[in-house]
């Protein structure tokens, strides 16, 4: 494998927002590593889509909530490509049940936090160590880490408090890693999507259709995974210099304060 390729890892990259991100990165010239919990046969159509633009791309079945899977994932990337230029922490799950915080269960909280917050935090730790070693050998090359959070990082939803807390944690993790990794030329960023059309939001489509029609958003449409993918591409490609720690809000104006 040529050492001139640029390799990007997108966790949860075979569906929804993750696939939208992976597709835009592939179109921009990156070779993709997609990871997720599902087996290869279930994600093959998504991988085939990515390979139309980046033929060497691969899928690795891995659960980011477990340290063993995180390390195995990076071992596969090192063996296959010998480098990693971009990490996109996208993998995340919705609450098992949308429960009022007065009634929420501890096991559901633990499961969500392990996937949405602990997993990306420690995957970033491992990737950062590898990127620092790469920086020492080739300091001129651009490397970045992009965290996909949500408007739920700041907008309270009392029937899914665990999800909101996980995304608020990702927002702070972005600031922490940006501060720690700047000396090594590694940019760390947060992309904060709003209401995005995906399998995760399919169950609440009717609710948000009505809210959008009633004026919830300044841009009167659902966001798409491709919208998020374009924002990630700007950051991953180094087209927004002098901006580590930046937050790109992709929400159609949802969180813009208005009178």
Q: Is-contact 250 192, C-beta < 8 A? A: yes
**Distance between CA atoms of residues 174 and 113, nearest Å:** 16
H or E segment and range at residue 109: helix 106-113
Tokens coding 222: 């659902």
Handedness of CA 227, 229, 233, 235 (dihedral sign): positive
Give which of 190, 197, 194, 216 is closest to 150, Cα–Cα.
194
Residue 189 among the catalytic residues: no
- From the list 59, 163, 189, 242, the catalytic residue is 163
Give which of 138, 223, 136, 152 is closest to 190, Cα–Cα.
152
H or E segment and range at residue 232: helix 225-236
Would you name the residues annotated as active-site residues?
163
């Amino acid at each position: 494998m040529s050492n001139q390729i640029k390799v990007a890892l997108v966790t949860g990259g075979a569906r929804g927002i993750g696939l939208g991100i992976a597709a835009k990165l592939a179109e921009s010239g990156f070779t993709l590593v997609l990871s997720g919990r599902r087996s290869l046969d279930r994600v093959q159509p998504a991988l085939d889509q990515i390979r139309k633009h980046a033929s060497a791309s691969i899928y690795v079945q891995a659960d980011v909530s477990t340290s063993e899977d995180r390390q195995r994932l990076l071992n596969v990337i090192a063996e296959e490509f010998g480098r990693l230029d971009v990490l996109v922490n996208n993998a995340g799950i919705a609450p098992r049940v949308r429960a009022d915080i007065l009634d929420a269960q501890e096991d559901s909280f633990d499961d969500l936090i392990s996937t949405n917050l602990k997993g990306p935090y420690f995957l970033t730790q491992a990737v950062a160590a590898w990127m620092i070693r790469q920086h020492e050998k080739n300091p001129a090359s651009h490397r970045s880490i992009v965290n996909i959070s949500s408007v739920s990082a700041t907008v309270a939803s009392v029937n899914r408090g665990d999800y909101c807390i996980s995304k608020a944690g990702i927002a702070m993790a972005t600031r922490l890693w940006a501060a720690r990794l700047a000396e090594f030329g590694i940019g760390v960023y947060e992309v904060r999507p709003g209401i995005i059309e995906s399998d995760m939001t399919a169950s609440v489509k009717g609710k948000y259709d009505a809210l959008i029609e009633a004026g919830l958003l300044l841009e009167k449409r659902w966001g798409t995974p491709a919208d998020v993918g374009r924002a990630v591409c700007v950051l991953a490609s180094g087209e927004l210099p002098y901006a580590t720690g930046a937050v790109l809000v992709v929400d159609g104006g949802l969180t813009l304060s208005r009178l």
